[in-house]
Amino acid sequence: MKAVTYQGIKDVAVKDVADPTLQKKDDILVKITSTAICGSDLHLVHGMVPNFPKDYIIGHEPMGIVEETGTEVTKVKKGDRVIIPFNISCGQCFYCQNKLESQCDHANPHGQSGAYFGFSDTFGGYPGGQAELLRVPYGNFVPFVVPENSELEDDKLLFLSDIVPTAWWGVEQAEVSSGDTVIILGCGPVGLLAQKFAWMKGASRVIAVDYIQYRLNHAKKTNHVEIFDFTKHDELGTHLKEITKGGADAVIDCVGMDGKKTAVEMVETALKLQGGSMGPIQLASQCVRKGGIVSIVGVYGTRYNMFPLGDFFARNITLKMGQAPVIHFIPELYHKIKQGDFDPTDIITHTLPLTEAAHGYDVFDEKHDNCIKVVLKP
Ligand code: NAD
Ligand code: ZN
């Protein structure tokens, strides 16, 4: 089959590789119909996971049709249309039973935590979903079966695999409720969805920050948020605190590590800064109100010695973060899409055949061609 493979820093290639096969009795094989590129894939191709193996299949936002099932699989059958969440989770352990599927105890027995498609042995050793076929473990728990009569096309459903529930969780974690002022850092796919969800949760004011002008414009036009380009304000944190009369009730970081730098450059920059700007975290600590919540959705993969802990402590700020536990949110969010509560497709700017994945990574990473979200069709 054809699959997108990691070749080195900022280098991916579509290669012919062996088809996956069932390995356990509760595995399923899925023929992928749509699969997206995520901001987390950018961290990966920037070198976030040390010693990432060459030729490893990447990608973790797929959906498709069940092709084969193991003998113990009862949840799905051949021909079912399924969404495959990025969390690989057993469904049985304490964490899976308590809505924290991203911390499953069993799916990654050798790693510190979490198992995900397309992130190498460090995250469980499950090849990724930017491929024609995908082996999905825990077939009785992981896949979401799209109801047979559903008329919703792939593009409406695909992001239930990751960024829709991730952004929803980020807003829930921020405890956004009626009348709140919310500042959302980053206008990538995750930030743009979080903006929609902040309004849905009853926010009275939603402010978005980025520095890519076309993404800010998209945020303003489609989500009717106030926009700020952080490169145009020397003291943006102070300014945002002033205009929100003491700071926002919640700040949601949908940025993570600087997307333009490799992980190694990130660490070098952090070391040089010696108390200076920490990017989104620093900004969040400045523009959240006393007693407010900072919800970090963006991925951080290194240690940060200059973390402004004193600022968080002095102002009683609550900090929450982590890999989103997406599985338990999917049914609820599927229904919201079906009812027309929101439409996630407005972020799709590029639909490409799987064979053009390298171009997709390039435009998404370089922010060329007004790219927001790339969907690949195997
Ligand atoms: P993206 O790279 O397209 O978007 C990030 C945006 O942040 C870009 O538009 C960039 O210009 C902007 N940005 C950069 N520095 C900024 C700063 N200092 N302040 C404000 N904006 C800034 O990625 P995405 O797909 O939207 O994903 C966003 C983040 O969410 C990534 O870090 C990704 O890894 C992470 N993510 C986390 C989870 C999870 O489970 N926690 C799941 C999916 C994605
Ligand atoms: Zn993702």
pLDDT for the residue numbered 261: 59
Three-state SS across 227-287?
A: EEEHHHCCCHHHHHHHHCCCCEEEEEECCCCCCCCCHHHHHHHHHHHCCCCCCHHHHHHHH
pLDDT higher than threshold 90 for residue 278: no
If phi over 0 gives left and psi between -120 and 50 gives alpha, with beta otherwise, what is residue 340?
left
> In this predicted model, which residue has the larger pLDDT, 308 or 370?
370
What is the mean pLDDT of the segment spanning 56-68?
98
Judged by its nearest atom, the ligand closest to the C-alpha of residue 61 is: 2
What is the mean pLDDT of the segment spanning 25-41?
98
Ligand 1 centroid to residue 258 C-alpha, Å = 8
Q: How is residue 228 annotated by DSSP?
A: E
For residue range 332-353, what is the model confidence (pLDDT) as tens digits? 999 999 999 999 999 999 999 9
CA torsion sign, 204 to 210 to 211 to 213?
Answer: negative
> In this predicted model, which residue has the larger pLDDT, 109 or 100?
100
Q: Whose CA is nearest to atom 26 of ligand 1?
A: 188
Mutate to test the pocket of ligand 1, among 102, 210, 233, 321 (most ligand atoms within 8 A of CB): 210
Ligand 1 centroid to residue 169 C-alpha, Å = 15
Residue with tokens 């997709």: 360
pLDDT higher than threshold 70 for residue 128: yes
Q: Given the CA of residue 190, which atom of ligand 1 is nearest to it? A: 26
For residue range 79-96, what is the model confidence (pLDDT) as tens digits? 999 999 999 999 999 999
Nearest to 28 by CA among 57, 62, 68, 82: 68
pLDDT higher than threshold 80 for residue 284: yes
Q: Given the CA of residue 189, which atom of ligand 1 is nearest to it? A: 26
pLDDT for the residue numbered 50: 83
pLDDT for the residue numbered 134: 98
For residue range 203-257, what is the model confidence (pLDDT) as tens digits? 999 999 999 999 999 999 999 999 999 989 888 999 999 999 999 999 999 998 8
Ligand 1 centroid to residue 63 C-alpha, Å = 22
What's this model's pTM, rounded to 2 decimal places?
Answer: 0.96
Mean of pLDDT over the chain: 94
Nearest to 375 by CA among 41, 61, 151, 45: 61
pLDDT for the residue numbered 113: 75
pLDDT higher than threshold 80 for residue 274: no
Nearest to 102 by CA among 112, 85, 89: 89
Q: Whose CA is nearest to atom 23 of ligand 1?
A: 39
Query: Cβ(135) to ligand 1 under 6 A?
Result: no
- Least confidently predicted of 16-20, 60-64, 233-237: 233-237
Nearest to 87 by CA among 69, 73, 105: 105
Look up residue 201 and give its two tokens. 């949760």
Query: Cβ(114) to ligand 1 under 6 A?
Result: no
Q: How confident is the model at residue 259 (pLDDT cuts 50, 70, 90)?
A: low
Q: Given the CA of residue 322, which atom of ligand 1 is nearest to it? A: 41
Q: Which domains does the chain have, with CATH numbers?
A: 2-162+325-377 (3.90.180.10), 164-321 (3.40.50.720)
Query: Cβ(372) to ligand 1 under 6 A?
Result: no
